Structure 1
Amino acid sequence: MKILFVIPVYKPAYIYGGLMAVVYLLAESLVRNGHDVTVYTTTANGKEELDVKVGEEVLVDGVKVFYFKRYTKGNSHLSPGFWNKIFLTVKDFDVVHLHSWWSPAIVAAAAVCRLRGVKPILSPHGMFCDYILTTNNKVKKQILQTVVGKSLLKNTFLHVSTPMEWKESQAILKNPWEGAIISNLVELDSVKPTGGKKPGQPFTIGFISRIDPKKGLDILIKALSKVSFDYRLQVAGTGEDEYVNSLKALAVECGNADKVKWVGWKNNVQKMQFYSEIDLFALTSHNENFAVVVIESLSIGTPVFLSRSVGLSGYVESKDLGWVTDIEDISEVTTNLERVYKEKHKQEVIKETAPAIIAHDFNKDYLTNQYTDYYKTLLAK
């Protein structure tokens, strides 16, 4: 099949993290499985621009990529060349797959598809959750959705990665939205960690992600300040200085600043070592449509502690690979952390069984075949 991915950001713009990672992993896996994949994207790289050829085909790890100059920064990524290329060539592909939403770049791309009589697949990547809808430019999103959004979404097929995201997305339109739930691909073939946690250390909890209010790290710091056992919290990742400093001040206020260590950003090899050196991975986010870090942690046997608002929380509960908590009441989070600490046997069982379960359920070829089957079903229509 000839497949077109349309996304405002693409590698090597690694600053965008999870969204970009799951997209390039899928694109590269489709190529390895014999498909012809092209990506249309922009030169976005945070506040900077990628140093790449513009408007010409560039082969990036087997994927044909066209980068187009953007004229606005932030999340708008306005790029006339990007839209013009879609307009001229979108009918040349068997499948068109749009990634993300709300960015004017991708909303306009959806409009171009409709104008050219193409019904694409849309992967919103968590953009329809309540947290996203009610924070950051809430009024602008409401206007965009009312004026053009819903009309354009009706001209798409839906793809989401978890049942939670499916439910959130279905609430956007009045009528059922035809689509499928297929898990994101996760890179599990990186260098395996050596060693593990050093003996004699306190119970160690790890957080690794972008440090952002959405991630609920403040909830974790508050809840841990009230537990009865000795612990250390390792925080890996970066964020806006003002917000990170506010969390450090919170730890001082809660009296557990001496138990919280800020260890900075980790690359793909370092983060796997990070997972191996902790007893528990914790993510008490307000919302995560998927959370690749959960699968990464479990892939080497480290149990997870998640808020119910993490998309993979249902999977973790069904496989008994960790613990899930509500986060509205800090005392409830504390109580559940106490339970985790006491359930040593369950921790050991997860360490032994999780790697094999994850290797099976998140096998790249297995998941890629699910995507191609979905594409073929839509192509037949």
Structure 2
Amino acid sequence: MSDFRWNRLVSYYARPRSFSTGGVNTSRQQWMAAISKQDIDVLVLSAEGGFDRVLVDAPRLGFATLTHWGRRRMTMVPRGLGGRIRRGDLVYLHEGWTVSNVVAAAVCRLRSIDYVVFPHGVYSPGITEHLRLLRVRAFIEDKVLDHALAVHLFFDSEIAEAAAVSPSAKTVVSVTGLDLPDATWDGGRPDRFIAWVGRYDIHHKGIDTLLDAVEGMSPDERPRIRMHGPDHLGDKARVRQLVDEKKLNDWVDVGGELNPSQVREFLLESCGFIHVPRWEAFGRTIVEALSVGCPVVLASAAHISAQLGADSAATIIDGESRSDIARSLGDLWNRRLQTGRAGRDWVARELSWDARARDLLDQLNQLYDEEHRKPRGSGPTPVTGSTNV
């Protein structure tokens, strides 16, 4: 993309190795690889000694690490960041509410470097309502977003969440891509299991409500559910305890974390996938299930649910309703072929990495042009991204 307004894009994300799980690590590297394939130089900058594993490869994509003070995700402070970025760069900051992002934003402002904040869903009320010292942190976060070139969101439905943190922040909207795999779901068998893949975070992922729904079904109607994912603050053991207390051991298996290829095989072997979070910005496993044609049952609290529901690409339910969950589990087998095909078609149509990268870069270029045409002293110009997924 020869008309990219900057000389280079630098993606900075400070995350300790203990927080190596989660979709942000994968998502941000895949975004940077897709952007680099538009003939743009990209540097992925991570915390030395933290999560710095290279997950992708592209010709104009480089990787480096930076030393930090501190070891905690929320309070790590970058050392020497000013020596790694330069005027003419566009700097991408990931997640939010962290000292590392506040420092990086300040360095960018001092050196007249444009930056974008990519929150990956951290401005959801499900997160903000549990933050300590919210008033002070919201004041600081507002300044970070207000001075950013843009806040990069996945969906238009997130704009209100960003505006609640910083009313004058500008936004671009472009969802994470996923290239369609060759493997496809074979239609399943009724004796197969329903898959659940995610972080064992009971409240966030709605695991308690899911187990309540299964408990409320008659034993002869209960499906077999197999769960896999990384632990979160000891919740995996608590999930096992809930399964024991509800006497669901014959129907619910609580398994360990899977690597990406194992996740795909797991989905292909299932008769469907269920995800009932109380909030979700993107949800990578959702689109991975859709991409292989695996039928998906999804809570309406996930931002992606509106687009999927409009195209009948997934079964959308009230994730707080035990009866809705139970009904969807019972109906999944009868609707599997229709929703499975529609989901794979949706991914092919909407999530091409090349199209996603071009869409994002067009929006960023537009913001750059508007900022540089703006008379000195004028206020920010709110911009929203493409209304397409």
| 2:153/2:159 contact within 8 Å kept | yes
Stretches of 4+ aligned residues off by more than 4 angstroms? 9-14, 193-197
Deviation at 1:222, TM superposition (A): 1.1
Structure 1 position 73, deviation (Å): 1.6
Return the alpha-carbon distance in structure 1 between the equivalents of residues 230 and 80 of structure 2.
Answer: 30
TM-score (norm 2): 0.83
Identity, in percent, stands at 19
Q: Judging changes above 3 Å, is the alpha-carbon distance between structure 1 residues 234 and 339 closer, same or farther for their aligned structure 2 residues?
A: closer
**Superposition deviation, residue 345 in structure 1:** 4.6
**TM-score (norm. length: structure 1):** 0.85
Cα pair distance change 1:5/1:288, threshold 3 Å: farther
- Of 164-173 and 358-367, the range deviating more from structure 2: 164-173
Structure 2 runs not aligned, ≥5 long: 371-389
SS in 2 for 1:40: strand
| Deviation (angstroms), 1:134 | 2.0
Correspondences of 1:125-144 after superposition (within 5 Å): 125-135=120-130, 138-144=131-137
1:352 matched to 2:349? The reply is no
Q: Secondary structure in 2 aligned to 1:215?
A: coil
Aligned to 2:104: 109
Q: Distance in 2 between matches of 1:371 and 1:219?
A: 36
One-letter identity of the residue aligned with 1:207? W
What's 1:224 paired with?
Answer: 214
Cα RMSD, aligned residues only: 2.7
Residue 375 of structure 2 corresponds to none
In the other structure, the counterpart of 2:63 is 65
Number of matched pairs: 359
- Per-residue CA deviations over 1:240-269 (Å, capped at 9, x if unaligned) read 473212111111222212211123211111
Rounded to whole Å, the distance in 2 between the matches of 1:13 and 1:377 is: 38
More helix by proportion, 1 or 2? 1
Provide, for residues 72-108 of structure 1, a one-character-per-residue CA deviation record: whole Å limited to 9, x for no partner: 222136344253335xx33132x33222111211121
Q: 1:365 aligned to 2:354?
A: yes
Q: How does 1:50-129 map to 2 (within 5 A)?
A: 50=52, 61-62=58-59, 63-76=61-74, 78-85=76-83, 89-93=85-89, 95-129=90-124
Instruction: Name the CA distance, whole Å, in 1 between partners of 2:122 and 2:234.
Output: 25
| Distance across 2 between alignment mates of 1:21 and 1:221 | 29
State the match for 1:42 in structure 2: 47
- Map of 2:31 onto structure 1: 26
Structure with larger RCO (C-alpha < 8 A, sep 6+): 2
Measured against aligned partners, the alpha-carbon deviations of 1:173-210 in whole angstroms (never above 9, x if no partner) come to 234x3222111123544x7368674x4615x3211111
Pair 270,320 (structure 1): closer, same or farther in 2 beyond 3 Å: same
Query: Match of 1:122, SS?
Result: strand
Structure-1 separation of matches of 2:178 and 2:17: 17
Q: Secondary structure at the match of 2:301?
A: coil
Residue 249 of structure 2 is aligned to residue 251 of structure 1: no
One-letter amino acid of the counterpart of residue 115, structure 2: P
User: Match for 1:69: what amino acid?
Assistant: T
- Once residues 196 and 262 of structure 1 are traced to their aligned partners in structure 2, the CA distance between those partners, rounded to angstroms, is 24
Q: Is the 8 A contact 1:286 1:310 kept in 2?
A: yes
Q: Which moved more, 1:334-343 or 1:236-245?
A: 334-343
Shift in Å, 1:19: 0.8
Q: Distance in 2 between matches of 1:27 and 1:248?
A: 38
